[in-house]
Amino acid sequence: MDKMKDVALLAGRILLALMFVMAGWGKIGGYAGTQGYMEAMGVPGFMLPLVILLELGGGLAIVLGLFTRSLSVLLAGFTLMAAFIFHYQPAEQMQMLMFMKNLSVAGGFLALAAAGPGAFSLDARLGKCW
């Protein structure tokens, strides 16, 4: 049963992080457009490098199971902020679907923070529980 739990935690980490890794990478390629969109939504464009670092770096760290608990809480908060800033538009069905997706992802990160990274992680190998 423990092996199944560890495999599920590994799969969960990968699935949760995939969206962030891809989004962070995409922001590098579309830097100017992303910065403009952020500014149009009231978010200072100078924050984009931090967003990329969190999405790409944090996402890769989650995949590897490094600093899993701390990053999961941070990414949950980031995802909730993004949900309210960019997607909370009750008059638009697609935006509300994205809003609900973000709430679900934040919940997944909080569950990961509570459960920990599992045996197949750098945290476990290093004997750390961040």
Secondary structure of the chain: what % helix, strand, coil (to 5)?
80, 0, 20
Domain that holds residue 4: 1-123
Say if 117 falls within a structural domain.
yes
Q: How many structural domains is the chain composed of?
A: 1
Say if 25 falls within a structural domain.
yes
Q: What is the pLDDT of residue 130?
A: 60
Say if 128 falls within a structural domain.
no
Which tens digit of pLDDT belongs to each residue from 8-50? 999 999 999 999 999 999 999 999 999 999 999 999 999 999 9
Render the burial of 96-128: b for 16+ CB within 10 Å, e for the rest: eebbeebeebbebbbebbeebbbbbbbbbeeee
Say if 130 falls within a structural domain.
no
Say if 110 falls within a structural domain.
yes
Q: What is the pLDDT of residue 41?
A: 95
Give the containing element (helix H, strand E) for 112: helix 93-115
Say if 64 falls within a structural domain.
yes
Q: Which residue has the tokens 């935690």?
A: 9
Say if 129 falls within a structural domain.
no
pLDDT band with cut points at 50, 70 and 90 for residue 109: very high
Query: What is the reported pTM?
Result: 0.93
Which tens digit of pLDDT belongs to each residue from 56-97? 999 999 999 999 999 999 999 999 999 999 999 999 999 999
Reported as half-sphere exposure (CB side, CA atoms, 13 A), residue 52 has a value of 15
